[in-house]
Amino acid sequence: MTTRSPTGPAPLPIPGAWQPLIERYRLFLQAAGRPKTTIGTRISHMSRIARCLGESPEQVTHDLLEVWFAHQKQWGQETRRGYRASATGFFSWAHAAGHIPFDPSTKLPSVKAGPPTPKPAPDRIWKEALVAADARTTVMLYLACEAGLRRAEVAQVHTDDLREGFSGYQLLVHGKGAKDRLIPVSDEIAAMILAGPGGHSPGHGDCGFLFPGADGGHLSARWVGKLCAAAMPGVWTMHKLRHRFATRAYQRTRNLRALQQLLGHASVATTQIYTAVDDDEMRETMLAAADSGPRPWTRWASSAAGVVVAASAATLVNHAVSLVP
């Protein structure tokens, strides 16, 4: 079973020498109108960098930062890109604003975007996750797997976001980049939302944020992701349920534009990254491209087989003759 927490764990503290500058950077990002999710990611990345480097911001050098990045061998391509973006954004701002004498991130090597590798969670993983999850996490899993929501979008679901349209229930999703979208949801998903937080956690009432956190807010996206990952076996994550939603929806409808709207992507090209091609479809496509006419290799194989048969027959005859007294 997954670990229960009413609010999620408290974030690790920011080192004292870094705290004023990182908080000032948070205000800068807010003033620039950056989405809450982006700000949260940048601050989280810089907090970790601050804890690991062990120096004050003005003492960080090119070499120190580069060596630290080099030692993060466990990172995937996109994680490395994300941390680099956070570091370059923070240090370039701090230098331009006169908070540090130079920008130590200027020599960080660029990181290419990784190739699209959709990895939808298979049926076995989905079923095992449902068995392992508690009631609260089960609702989170369904919102990712059967509505295609990101973890940050799941965290922000509110009972007031559910609407009843002509064709059925709809959910107002608070998406990435402060872009809201209205998507249809099944009656089952609607029932989970209508029940409110008390539907999965008795005593929390039937209205408000579906996953309440501290001070009347909601759980963090990070904690929602951790709860779901804890219920899923191995290295599978909540985001792979979103890949599963996208892949299954596309295979059954072939409507890429509708899927783009459901997922909240600005570009169809991004949606294509989420849709894995079925093995049977690839085989069917390969066979469709194959020439249906006579094959030279089949004629060669037939001739070769004839030679082998003739040679075998001759061997048997010679053997039989040798046995005659």
Task: Kindly name the residue from 62, 176, 181, 248 that is annotated as catalytic.
Answer: 176
52: which residues sit within 8 A by CB, 6+ positions away?
Answer: 68
The yes-or-no answer on residue 176 being catalytic is yes
Task: Kindly name the residue from 42, 150, 200, 204 that is annotated as catalytic.
Answer: 150
Task: Kindly name the residue from 158, 242, 243, 244 that is annotated as catalytic.
Answer: 242
Q: pLDDT tens across 47-58, in order?
A: 999 999 988 999
pLDDT confidence of 78, banded at 50, 70, 90? confident
Looking at the fold, whether 61 and 204 belong to one and the same domain comes out as no
pLDDT reported for residue 116: 67
For the chain, the distance separating the N- and C-terminal CA atoms, rounded to the nearest angstrom, is 82
pLDDT reported for residue 300: 44
Does the structure show a pLDDT above 60 at 151? yes
Looking at the fold, whether 127 and 275 belong to one and the same domain comes out as yes
The yes-or-no answer on residue 283 being catalytic is no
Does the structure show a pLDDT above 60 at 175? yes
pLDDT reported for residue 286: 63
Task: Give the integer Cα–Cα distance in Å for 270 and 165.
Answer: 28
Report if residue 319 sits inside a domain.
no
Looking at the fold, whether 184 and 229 belong to one and the same domain comes out as yes
Task: Give the integer Cα–Cα distance in Å for 151 and 222.
Answer: 8
The yes-or-no answer on residue 242 being catalytic is yes
pLDDT confidence of 68, banded at 50, 70, 90? very high
Q: pLDDT tens across 259-283, in order?
A: 898 998 888 877 877 777 666 666 6
Which domain covers residue 128, as residue numbers? 123-279
Report if residue 324 sits inside a domain.
no
Q: Check residues 22 and 113 and name the one with the higher pLDDT.
A: 22
pLDDT reported for residue 6: 46
The yes-or-no answer on residue 218 being catalytic is no
Write down the residue that tokens 């956070």 correspond to: 86
What is the percentage of the chain residues whose pLDDT exceeds 90? 60
Report if residue 247 sits inside a domain.
yes
How many folded domains does the chain comprise?
A: 2
Q: pLDDT tens across 91-129, in order?
A: 999 999 999 999 999 999 999 877 667 789 999 999 999
Does the structure show a pLDDT above 90 at 171? yes
